Amino acid sequence: MDVFRAMFWDTKVFVNKKHQYSNNEILVAYLNLDAGKLEECYDDLRYLLPRVLINTDMTREFARRDYNDRVWEVQKIMNRIDVIYLSLPPYNVCRSSRRD
């Protein structure tokens, strides 16, 4: 989990006492985000969800081959989401404290 402390003074926002933003600068970055990439991730995850749920009809061969591949695909999508959110303020300046 990423943690930071924000302080507000006049028309400025300070993150972790080091990084300064003007008022609403962070909001503008989120509003200008190209949501298409996140929508693709969402659609891909919705498609994969029923395919990664374990059920009693699942054979060992399916579990070894197809299931593992689908779980890895979900992990790749989650990593893409991480890249997107870590590019946005204030997370982009808090990266050094994040464990990778």
- Domain-located, residue 26: yes
Strand partners, 8: 13
pLDDT tens digits for 47-90? 999 888 877 777 777 777 788 889 999 999 999 999 998 999 98
Provide the pLDDT confidence category of residue 97 given band limits of 50, 70 and 90. Answer: low
Angle (nearest 5°) at CA 35 between 34 and 41: 125
Asked whether residue 74 is assigned to any structural domain, the reply reads yes
Cis peptide before 50 (omega within 30 of 0): no
Does residue 1 belong to any structural domain of this protein?
A: no
Structurally, the chain folds into a number of domains equal to 1
Query: What pLDDT, on the 0 to 100 scale, is given for residue 100?
Result: 47
In-domain check, residue 73: yes
Model pTM? 0.73
5 pLDDT exceeds 90? no
pLDDT at residue 96, rounded to an integer: 55
Could you report the per-residue pLDDT of 6-41, keeping only the tens digit for each?
898 999 999 988 899 998 899 999 999 989 999 999
pLDDT of residue 39: 96
The domain containing residue 86 runs over which residues? 6-97
